[in-house]
Chain A
Amino acid sequence: MLMGIVLLFSCRHESEEVDFHTTPYSLNIPHGFAPFSVPSNNPMTQEGVALGRKLFYDPILSGNNTQSCASCHLVQHSFSDTTALSAGIDGFAGPRNAMPLVNLGWQRNFFWDGGAADMESQVLGPVENPIEMHEQWPNAIAELNADAAYQELFNQAFGEREITVPMVIRAIAQFERTLISGNAKYDQYLRGETGLTPQELWGLEVFTDPMKGDCNHCHSLGSTFSDFEFRNTGLDSIAVDAGRYLITLNENDRGKFKTPSLRNIELTGPYMHDGRFATLLQCIEHYNTQFHYAPNLDVNLLTAQKGRMTMEEMQAVESFLKTLTDWEFIQNPAFADPNP
């Protein structure tokens, strides 16, 4: 019996560590896509992803418990909103369109102006933004810690019952990294599983033609259809929203915004950082004839001839863009609200 006491005493810490284990989550990287890296302090686990999904859909993170991340990031719209400017819990609209959440693991710099350098940090902003979820992190953490079910889920995911901000943002980032789209008609076409119509193929040709659409200069073909650089695309002759400048304070960045992904673009309207365009055709027309010669206008537009595409060519580009819609993605049960 005494030996038992000795062993129990000396092994207490070791046994506590052994008790905690997680199940690795294997990311479903589509054929032809390069893998992406995850932060070393936030490895993907089944428990972390499940917890992040629950938090994403739970209004507990908002000031009056009425809005969750999913309130403005609707799965059926590739996790974007249908209004130009989403309203927060107090009914005030923010200054920018809710960005779609798709293939985020390949992205760098988050928000339209790139204000968050990593996905975990991105989660911090909307919760505390007074015109979005309008909550203080200490309050949100206190609410979560008062919930025994959440404490158990955090214990399963991170080995700690005492919930902290880093644990919350890591869980949500894990879920967001699973939002992978790679089964659009265009992907199936690349894999030789289906064909594109003549109209869609013509659209692809115009999309990539440097004398026509030249869209792929910034919306590079691949996992995201974006190079995620910051550009002034001449939406206004004098930028109403200073964009990237607000982050870098570099005058050269005034009016610049991140090139958004075109994945599921058919589902994510209205478009641009302020949701000013209702249709894809309006967007294409902007790049064809409507852009302003703003001081920081991107050089690709500065050197592009206005009116270089016909209406038929623009409609063909629109048809091609619709081949980037991944219907399986928005119907994926793993992305749906898990809360009862």
Chain B
Amino acid sequence: MKKTLLIITVFPLFFWSCKEECLPPENAKPKVKVVFHTTVNGAEVASGVSFDRPGGESFQVDLMKYYVSHFALVDGTGDSLMINDHHLIDPINQKMSFSKEVEEKSGCEHVRFLLGVDELHNHSGNQEGDLDPVNGMIWTWSTGYIFFKHEGTFTDATGASLPLLYHYGQDRALVEVDLPIDLDIEEGKSYEIHIDLNLAILYQGIAFTDNNVHQSAGTADNPWIDALKQNFRGAFQIVEVKESLIQ
């Protein structure tokens, strides 16, 4: 009898507490998940794996992190649906995605985001979340975020192994990425947008042998920053968009 009373009492309580969160699926707000794959021509980077590059060279990744900011789906009129503020992508540790419940939006034609941290947020460590300085992505002697970090090794054409340390940042290094998409965001559906950052394209024309250590700390690094910035724009590609009903 006591058990029956408890069920009778708890059931409406459960229903009441979930009134807003447990909407029937067909009315559920759409959800967009963005997944960044960091690859060399489609092969996901992983610690200890060697990747060939032209000229008989190869490289490895011990640590790779980068910021993706202000990710938005944009329609033909320029109206946008913001998906994130700032997220740190860390493929070695499988931190590759972010997601958000959004409103409906039809006619999305562009995916736009920043590789890096915008100037407004770039010069203070007094921030939380993925901008928390604990992530090791900030220069503390001259406050500013490292937008993209690659630490590892490379082997030159003679077989010599050298360290590779690329810390890419500064306001001038901020990259605006614009990718075409054809997508309607509808109620009751979830979406996964898979984007590839292809390091083979990113490092096209970048000579590891010229200077294997870049810290974006002097004007001598500016040509390297400008070259990488140009390459970043072409190195991102949408590889898959998945659509499913919210269960």
Contact = CB atoms under 8 A, between A and B. Distances in A.
Contacts of A249: 218-219
Interface stretch (A19-27, A74-82, A163-171, A222-230): A163-171
A9 B16 CA distance: 12
A120 interface: yes
A294 interface: no
Which secondary structure characterizes the binding site on chain B? loop
A240 interface: no
B13 A6 contact: yes
B141 interface: yes
Interface in B172-207: none
Given A117-B123, A121-B124, A137-B133, A9 B138 contact: no
Contacts of B127: 166
Nearest to A122: B143
A339 interface: no
Contacts of B136: 136-138
A9 B18 CA distance: 13
Interface string A100-137: 00000000000101011110110011011100000011
Contacts of B140: 116, 121, 124-125, 127-129
Interface in B222-236: none
Contacts of B134: 137-138, 141, 164-165
B13 A166 contact: no
B132 interface: yes
B141 A39 contact: no
Nearest to B217: A246
Contacts of A10: 17
A42 interface: yes
Given A137-B134, A138-B134, A115 B126 contact: no
A207 B134 CA distance: 46
Interface in B137-192: 138, 140-143
Interface string A128-153: 11000000111001000000000000
Interface residues of B, number: 21
A41 interface: yes
A299 interface: no
A242 to B, nearest CB: 10
A21 B124 CA distance: 26
Given A9-B13, A165-B134, A170 B126 contact: yes
A109 to B, nearest CB: 10
A113 B17 CA distance: 55
A170 B17 CA distance: 37
B128 interface: yes
Interface string B2-30: 00000001000100010000000000000
Nearest to B13: A6
A163 to B, nearest CB: 10
B13 A42 contact: no
A100 to B, nearest CB: 20
Contacts of B128: 164, 166
A42 B218 contact: no
Contact of A118 (B13, B126, B132, B141): B126
Interface in A154-169: 164-166, 169
A164 B132 contact: yes
A170 B124 CA distance: 12
Contacts of A9: 13, 17
Interface of A: 2, 5-6, 9-10, 39, 41-42, 111, 113, 115-118, 120-121, 124-125, 127-129, 136-138, 141, 164-166, 169-170, 173, 246-247, 249
Task: Please list the 4 inter-chain residue pairs (A to B) with the smallest Cβ-Cβ separation, ordered nearest first.
Answer: A120-B126, A115-B142, A124-B140, A125-B140
Given A2-B9, A128-B140, A166-B128, 9 more contacts: A9-B13, A116-B142, A117-B123, A121-B123, A121-B124, A127-B140, A129-B140, A165-B133, A166-B133
12 contacts: A2-B9, A115-B142, A117-B123, A117-B143, A124-B133, A124-B138, A125-B141, A129-B140, A164-B132, A165-B125, A166-B125, A246-B142
